[in-house]
Structure 1
Amino acid sequence: MKKTASRIAEGQPFPLGATWNGHGVNFALFSAHATKVELCIFDSSGRREIERIVLPEYTDEVWHVFVYDLRPGAIYGYRVHGPYEPEAGHRFNPHKLLLDPYAKAHVGALRWHPAVFGYTLKHEARDLSFDTRDSAPYVPRCRVVDQTFSWHHPLRERVARERMIVYETHVRGYTIRHPEVPPEQRGTFAGLAHPAVVDGIRHLGVTSVELMPVHMFLNDSHLLERGLTNYWGYNTIGFFAPDPRYSVGAHASIDEFKLMVDRFHESGLEVLLDVVYNHTAEGSELGPTLSFRGIDNASYYRLLPDTPRYHINDTGTGNTLNLSHPRVLQMVTDSLRYWVVEMGVDGFRFDLATILGREPEGFDEGGGFLDSCRQDPILSSVKLIAEPWDCGPGGYQVGGFPPGWAEWNDCFRDTVRTWWKGDEGKAPDLATRLCASGDRFNRRGRRPWASVNFVTAHDGFTLHDLVSYNDRHNEANGEDNRDGHADNHSWNCGAEGPTDDPEIRALRERQKRNLLATLLLAQGTPMIVAGDEFGRTQQGNNNAYCQDNAISWIDWEGIDDAGRELAAFVRRLTILRHALPVLRRNRFLTGEHNDLLDVTDVTWLSPAGIALTPEQWGDVNMRCFGMLIDGRSQTSGIMRLASDATMLIVFNAYHDVVEFTLPSVPGNDQWSCLIDTNVPVRDELPEFEAGDTYQVTGRSLLLFALHARGATQRVFERLEENLTAGPEEI
């Protein structure tokens, strides 16, 4: 192995990472406290180190060198020298081979071995000493890449935020059992790009596919010891590198990811990434030294001010990324821009996003990261969705993010679940959630789309399990069923788990339709979890983060008639949402009267068809009411035919039939029933007169559209015609 190199130049401190320019590769690595940095270059197998180069220049806390004749495909890592002073927050150890935080591709996998730790553990956790074992045989490396790619659809039309329907899925779990995907492509980006998969997603009527983490992540040692893996991937170690486990070719993950994005864009679908910038896979101060810890622990992580030996753990995973440091903030924003500009994605969902808004004094909506996103010409133009909570003090921030952000709304989730479960006193709260939770989001010019409504997510019960289990059943996780949420606001409809009882099965199917219809007819941005549209089950497991098996995978060939009927029902709901702007307004419904148009945007009705009184709102036993949305109240400029549709949604969580009187609206007298969750399939749209009563089945939802007597049903007939169209054509 060479100790020096005569083919080097000082290089540049920018851009950070490894950058090929056609003549060689520039390497640049930030470290504020290192005393020396060595670049280790390996042979094509990645096993044998063939050259070690001391980075000769240090500019603005960036170490850098240019290596001539080095090309894409070169495999490398770093060894960083500096003080090993845990009590001061410094954990440098040149015996540990480190990953470049800006690496665009990784090679190999981590093998858990004592040598990957920067310390030697003797008898007690506090009895630690500097470890001199070489970690190179056990850790992954980085690979220099060439970003050349021929996009077929480099320019795409972004989906308007108010038109979004998000579809959350997992790269591997979605296609690993898909019968139309070639076996070698299943579970990969190439599998997601298969025409049968793309067409199926598009036909469902969603607009934006949100992929669970695809950044390079690690499997926790405690999971591997139990024969499990980190299936979800919320354990990132490389913020620029797609995980090679999701690619067919050993070194093709970048091109395969881009091809997938290209195919989705060709079909009018957006690609969103679920990203984890709140922590890294290095864990607490007792975790391994793989990258950030060995490069500059005191800069990359938040440490306890009085005892910097220890990490602040606002994430619950052992460490918290320090976005108050300008170089760490730069790394995160550089990563986001890279995925937008180079990889073509359309937006991000941020795991534990409150962390990203934290400064030393706590969450601050004017914090460095949030301000950076608002002013950045690239990041401010894409979809930014926050999971607005973390484990730290003041961590719950639903509605607390600044303009431009959308947020997961767990208030919607819990209220909708408890309403359809039959809990008392939920009607007023449900009314608020149906109007995009204006109590939390209607401020500073934010729009209804800021509320990302969901009933289920990857974390928790699937929709089928939500109506089939009262309790979690996580025994397969190996934690004695102690993990996962204990209170899920679920109801098994009379039997725990699978049952042959036809009445319970019918009720469960209706409850699924109720929950999905509430989600897709409410104001705000709906999010559906892949598989919920046909009743996927996880056998009662509400924390399947470690289940890379049939518990988590979608069983395409196992979809039964009930599942196909449910998927058709979801398709009808998405068609309605796309075709009727009144269901996806860009202004909050407030119940205020518009004097100019002489209409009220939303009116809440009792089963008698008249406005609810304060006394009725205060009745904790009220379980049936109507939501009348007057489409004329949103008219502005040139009005399209469907823009002024007036809709009535009836929510009946009572266990028995309720007679509901259809209201009279001035100038109109005829209603068409578009949806009845008790009758999911109809050959024609039944019509009713104002003043007629409708027998609303117990635990069911209805959607009516108002139109003038004698008017054609062209608008509503077109809904049926659109069953073969994509959302962008409606």
Structure 2
Amino acid sequence: MEPKRYTARAPEPTAQSRTHASQLGVFVHPDGIDVAVTAALASQVEFCAIDFEPDGSLRERRYALNGPQLGVWTGFIPGIRPGQRYGFRVHGRWDPAAGMRHNPAKLLLDPYGRGVAGEYDLGPACYSHEVDDELQPVPGPRKINELDSAPYVPHSVVVDDTYNGEVGPLHTPWDRTVIYEAHVRGLTMNMPGVPMHLRGTYAGLAHPATIAHLQRLGITAIELLPIHAKLPEPFLVDKGLDNYWGYNTVGFFAPEPSYATKSAQAQGPSAVLREVKGMVSLLHEAGIEVILDVVYNHTCEAGIDGPTLSWRGFGESTYYMQAPGNPGDFEDVTGCGNTLDFRLRRVIQMSLDSLRYWAQEVGVDGFRFDLAVALGRQGREFNSHHPFFVAMTTDPVLRTRKLITEPWDLGHNGWRTGQFPSPMADWNDRFRNAIRSFWLTDQRTMLNGHRPADSREMVTRLSGSADLFSRGRVPGGRGTFASINFVTAHDGFTLHDLVTYDHKHNEANREDNRDGTNDNRSWNHGTEGPDTLLSKERQKSMRNLMSTLLFSAGTPMLTAGDEIGRTQFGNNNPYCQDNSLSWIDWRLTPWQEDFQATVSYLLRLRREHRVFRPTGFFTGTPRNGDPLPDVTWIDRDGEEMPAWKWFEPSSRTFQMLRSGLGQDVDALILINGLNKDTEFTFPVGRGRPFDLAWDSTMPRPNGFRERKLPGSSIVLEAQSIRLYLSNPA
């Protein structure tokens, strides 16, 4: 269909809104809706009700909003009901060099819209400035584009948000929390027991078959990759690919409709929202929290010459971080073309309102903030006590939810792990890197005849990363559970691929293998790529990585499918692969069944024994009247580790004795990080025997029956871990 030019016509007037202007968005009343939207520098704003003619063409009813009052345009529009599609047209100054792109030819999504519907047909009409056939700006000063975008962009939808089920958080204590990072589609597209029509949907995620798997595994919280409404980036559209992961938000209040069942999609956004609420409610009934990965650092409108879909048309200076001294350009610390500017009140308000909406109305239990450093920037610099963080961590609703950061961005001094305020927790990339290096790249280094690193970093991460999280105004800082420990995440190799590939293989992304990180700290064990049954050495490395994760102090996070050793065939950045490359294959071989049993067993050990879940950092001294220090580091000869040994590669053999403080068993972890079998002597401890509870050389837990007395010896296989438990009584 050939794009048509926008036709201006006199809009109908609106009555005064009954809702206070500080309440942005659309609010449904029995006889119509109240509307409030920010467009501080606009000269006129129209609410446009979208209907369809019998031939499929669009028909608009336009209403002039009143204002602006403190930058907000409002109005009451009678007769509008849930299900009505709508958008906004904003009139005002066109001056791209000054950061002003008001263009009434562009139908804009509501930044507060709770439902999104319609297809996205990216083309010239979607841009506020004139573009050529390649969607590149016409040379010279940016000229206003008068093509009407309404037929080519998604529309906001008035939503009926009533729901009869229970809505509310579970409040699982941090020391009981085990996080499972998953994608709504990828988790269930191939899951046995989930009916075909529910696979890859919100309903499928809450199906009894999915829940049963999570419960058998021992998961207490599922962290979902973004479910906010999304759009693909222009360069992906050009390649015929889609944004599978969803880190390209088009609506911070609207759930992504494509993850709903076909039935809900056909009924419209109100039904999609009910399905999301139903998913959360059913997971809560099963004792599983829901944490949302949220992307408030940028939007889907791309760089300065990207499409105009929502925020840009209401006012770039209201939302985006503009370059110093050049409001016609963007400051980008996200790598996505634009950055929402958290110095601006409306950006903070929108983000807080969105968080409260998902917490209160949908009932989710927490949030993981993508590129969270961008949310704390005041211009170039990061402020750990940024007003956004202060507001969120003191808010009576949000402070009770789990608040998790990805503690970096791509800007100046963008790495900030451990520097966020309480009660926030951080993804601990130092943990990820240390554990991978110890069990993978250092092993390769030794096999190549070189000296490996010592184990100081490894033992620091095992102990809860006090160097990162013990600081602060409160003694003990944020505590051990502020460290979200992980070995893998959606971004990077799967656990299987860490032990199978030395290099990324992202050819399917059509970027000539340039995308994705090169710092994988992986080890292919001598052969690049998979073998038929996965070699015993590779399996053992996977068990070493998983057991280290689950024995470490802090909050463990698993990536969906790692419990069965799923592969992405070496692709460490499948963000655009909505296919079998990213979907979990639940057809298990015997070794995968063994590994799944291993992960379940390790999580059960952690759940049953508080010694693996210390709430405070170790001191190395006796506590609570217990004569045994809370942690004792022991060399392979059974003696307390002298400080100098930590600086030697030979310290890659050590023992960690953790006291149960008289309330639980003591735990003795033996680690042989060398590539040769090594003799270990058991420490004195309390003078009581040690019972074997775990051996990473075993493919499957087998009811271990080995007992060792203090002073006795064993030979620990190269590159392996053993766990012994000792009753303190």
Q: Which moved more, 1:8-17 or 1:698-707?
A: 8-17
Q: Distance in 1 between matches of 2:326 and 2:14?
A: 44
| C-alpha spacing 1:92/1:469, structure 2 compared with 1 (3 Å) | same
Task: Provide the rounded CA distance (Å) in 1 between the counterparts of 2:346 and 2:76.
Answer: 21
SS state at 1:310 partner:
strand
Query: 2:29 is matched by which residue type in structure 1?
Result: N
Equivalent pair of 1:422/1:623 in contact (CA under 8 Å): no
Q: Distance in 1 between matches of 2:234 and 2:459?
A: 46
Residue 162 of structure 1: how far off its partner (Å): 1.7
How far, CA to CA, are the matches of 2:703 and 2:323 in structure 1?
65
Distance in 2 between the 1:231 and 1:3 partners? 41
Q: Which residue of 1 aligns with 2:561?
A: 531
Contact 2:13 2:65 in 1 (8 A): no
Q: 1:358 to 1:509 in 2, by over 3 A?
A: same
Structure 1 counterpart of 2:710, one-letter code: A
CA deviations on 1:595-631 (whole Å, 9 max, x unpaired) are: 9433311111111111111221111343211111112
2:525 matched to which residue of 1?
Answer: 493
- Give 1:693's aligned amino acid: S
Counterpart secondary structure, 2:122: coil
Task: Give 3-state SS (helix, strand or coil) of 2:362's partner.
Answer: coil
2:168–2:364 CA contact under 8 A, matched in 1: no
Contact kept, 8 Å, 1:418 with 1:426, in 2: the verdict is no
8 Å contact 1:406–1:451 — kept in the other structure? yes
SS of the residue corresponding to residue 600 of structure 1 reads: coil
SS state of the match for residue 690, structure 2?
strand
Alignment partner, residue 19 of structure 1: 27
How far residue 694 of structure 1 moved from its aligned partner, in angstroms, is: 2.0
The one-letter code of the counterpart of 2:553 is: Q
Query: For residues 415-450 of structure 1, what are the alpha-carbon distances to aligned partners after superposition, in whole Å with 9 as ceiling and x for unaligned?
Result: 000100252124111010111110010022311000
Partner residue in 2 for 1:598: 627
CA separation in 2, counterparts of 1:475 and 1:412? Answer: 29
Q: Is the 8 A contact 1:193 1:260 kept in 2?
A: yes
CA distance in 2, matches of 1:11, 1:125: 47
Out of 275, 278, 283, which is 1:259 matched to?
278
* SS of structure 1 residue aligned to 2:130: strand
Please tell me whether residue 130 in structure 1 is matched to residue 158 in structure 2: no
Whether 1:435 aligns to 2:463 is: yes
In structure 2, runs of 5+ residues without a counterpart are: 1-6, 443-451
> What residue is the counterpart of 1:547 in the other structure?
577
Instruction: Supply the distance in 2 between the matched residues of 1:192 and 1:596 (Cα, whole angstroms).
Output: 47
**Paired residues of 2:192 and 2:209 also in contact (CA < 8 A):** no
Give distance in 2, aligned partners of 1:414 and 1:533: 20
Q: Which moved more, 1:269-278 or 1:245-254?
A: 245-254
Q: Could you tell me how far 1:60 is from its partner in structure 2?
A: 2.0
- Contact 2:179/2:220 (<8 A) preserved: yes
Question: Structure 1 residues 11 and 85, CA, compared in 2 at 3 Å: closer, same or farther?
Answer: farther
Pick the aligned partner of 2:188 from 170, 175, 186: 175
**Does the CA-based 8 Å contact 1:10-1:57 persist in structure 2?**
no
Cα distance in 1 for residues equivalent to 2:332 and 2:168: 41
Q: What TM-score do you get using the length of structure 2 for normalisation?
A: 0.93
Deviates more, 1:617-626 or 1:79-88: 617-626
**How far has the Cα of 1:526 moved from its partner?**
0.5
* 1-structure distance, mates of 2:596, 2:605: 14
1:559 is aligned to: 588
Does the aligned pair in 2 maintain the 1:539–1:551 contact within 8 Å? yes
Q: Is the 8 A contact 2:183 2:224 kept in 1?
A: yes
- The one-letter code matched in structure 2 to 1:29 is V
Deviations 1:539-571 (A, max 9, x none): 000111111111100011x22111111111110
Are positions 1:337 and 2:356 aligned together? yes
Q: Does the C-alpha gap of structure 1 residues 272 and 16 become closer, same or farther in structure 2, counting only changes over 3 Å? A: same
* Aligned amino acid, residue 298 of structure 1: S
Q: 2:49–2:61: 8 Å Cα contact kept in structure 1?
A: yes
Q: How far apart are the structure 1 equivalents of 2:690 and 2:353?
A: 53
1:113 corresponds to 2:136: no
Partner of 2:162: 148
The one-letter amino acid paired with 2:294 is V
Aligned equivalents of 1:155 and 1:331: distance in 2?
Answer: 22
Tell me the residue number matched to 1:306. Answer: 325
How do 1:427-466 and structure 2 match up within 5 A? Answer: 427-444=455-472, 445-466=477-498
Change in Cα spacing, 1:168 to 1:10, as seen in structure 2 (3 Å) is closer
Whether the aligned pair in 1 keeps the contact of 2:454 and 2:647 (CA below 8 Å) is no
* Cα contact 1:467–1:491 (8 A) shared by 2: yes
Q: How far, CA to CA, are the matches of 1:225 and 1:88 in structure 2? A: 30
SS in 1 for 2:680: strand
Q: Is the partner of 1:179 in helix, strand or coil?
A: coil
Task: Tell me the amino acid that sits aligned with residue 508 of structure 1.
Answer: R
CA change 1:193–1:3 in 2 (3 A) is: farther
The whole-number CA distance in structure 2 between the counterparts of 1:495 and 1:458 is: 24
Classify 1:401/1:386 alpha carbon distance in 2 versus 1 (closer, same or farther; 3 Å).
same
Find out whether 1:671 has 2:690 as its counterpart.
yes
Cα-to-partner distance string for 1:31-82 (whole Å, 9 max, x where unaligned):
2111110011012689522310010233221100111221111110000111
Question: Of the candidates 681, 699, 707, which is equivalent to residue 719 of structure 2?
Answer: 699
Counterpart of 2:257 in structure 1 is: 244
> 2:708 and 2:290 mapped to 1: Cα distance?
42
Q: Distance in 1 between matches of 2:140 and 2:609?
A: 64
Match of 1:659 among 679, 696, 714: 679
8 A Cα contact 1:40 1:49, kept in partner: no
Within 2, Cα distance between the matches of 1:7 and 1:602?
A: 70
> Matches of residues 50-449 of structure 1 in structure 2 within 5 Å?
50-121=60-131, 126-151=140-165, 153-154=166-167, 157-248=170-261, 249-250=264-265, 251=268, 252-421=271-440, 423=442, 424-444=452-472, 445-449=477-481
Question: How much does 1:157 deviate?
Answer: 3.5
Preserved contact between residue 468 and residue 498 of structure 1 (Cα < 8 Å): yes
Structure 1 contact 425–621 (Cα < 8 Å) conserved: no
1:127, 1:194 → 2: CA distance? 54
Deviations 1:366-411 (A, max 9, x none): 1111111121001111000000000000111001101111000000
Distance 1:277-1:595 versus aligned 2 partners, 3 A rule: closer
Partner secondary structure for residue 43 of structure 1: strand
- Is 1:34 matched up with 2:42? yes
Cα 1:413–1:543 change in 2 (3 A) is same
Query: Distance between the aligned counterparts of 1:597 and 1:513, measured in 2?
Result: 32
Superimposed CA distance per residue, residues 282-321 of structure 1 (whole angstroms, 9 cap, x where no aligned partner): 0111100100000111110010121110011011111000
Q: How far 1:6 moved relative to its partner? A: 6.7
Alpha-carbon distance between aligned partners in 2 of 1:660 and 1:422, rounded to the nearest angstrom: 24
- Structure 1 residues 339 and 44: alpha-carbon distance in aligned structure 2, compared to 1, 3 A threshold: farther
Q: Which amino acid aligns with 1:655?
A: N
Cα gap change, 1:222/1:156 in structure 2, threshold over 3 Å: closer, same or farther? Answer: closer
1:693–1:88: structure 2 CA closer, same or farther, 3 Å change rule?
Answer: same
Say which SS state the counterpart of residue 417 (structure 2) adopts: coil
Name the aligned partner's letter for residue 138 of structure 1: Y
Identity %: 43
Tell me how many residue pairs correspond in the alignment. Answer: 695
1:716 maps to which residue? none
